[in-house]
A = this chain, B = another copy of it.
Amino acid sequence: MKGRKVFILRLNHRPQRDKRVTTHLFLAARALGATGAFYSGEEDEKVQRSVEKVNKSWGGDFKISHIADWKGKMKEWKRKGGEIVHLTMYGLPLRQVIDRIRSLQRDILIVVGGAKVPREVYELADWNVSVTSQPHSEISALALFLHELFEGKELSTSFEDAKVIIIPQAKGKKVLKLNP
């Protein structure tokens, strides 16, 4: 996970409707080894603050930026030599393409749709990838994509400058507070 940068691009965020789903999406991205996220649509300080609060307690520096021009971001990403993966139930099955995507060793931008995804996203993406061809959730799709990309190593990511860490328990909770 170190070395290769993986960013999420969440399209067309609508604060009223998507607040919690987008927050969950970004927290999943952070916990599972992604570097940061961009989002288009309406700017939403609440979502950004939720994730910053998690960074502050749990460590790392997962960054979120609002962008006005998603198309520009995708084109820039390609120009700089990165790969673009678009997660869509219409794409090629995850297991059919993941080894090739992983072996490219390039930075990856993972595009995650909002309500209606413009056709250009399918065209600009290097890979349209389906995590099952069934409707479910961008959060579960992203989690499984990252898990397969990082081959399970993401499950033991550690985060720098954490103020709290959990000591896993068979029953109950054990939280260690660092740098109080």
Chain A residues within 8 Å of B, Cβ to Cβ: 17-18, 20-21, 24-25, 27-28, 30-32, 54, 58, 89-96, 119, 122-123, 125, 128, 130-137, 139-144, 147, 152, 154-157, 159, 165-166, 168-175
Contacts and interface: CB of A to CB of B under 8 A. Distances in A.
Contacts of A168: 90-93, 96, 130, 133
Contacts of A125: 171
Contacts of A32: 132, 136, 140
B90 A136 contact: no
Given A139-B24, A139-B140, A140-B142, A165 B122 contact: no
Copies of the polypeptide in the assembly: 2
A95 B62 CA distance: 24
A17, A96, A168: residue with the most chain B Cβ atoms closer than 10 Å:
A168
A131 B81 CA distance: 32
Contacts of A96: 168
Nearest to A60: B134
A140 B90 contact: no
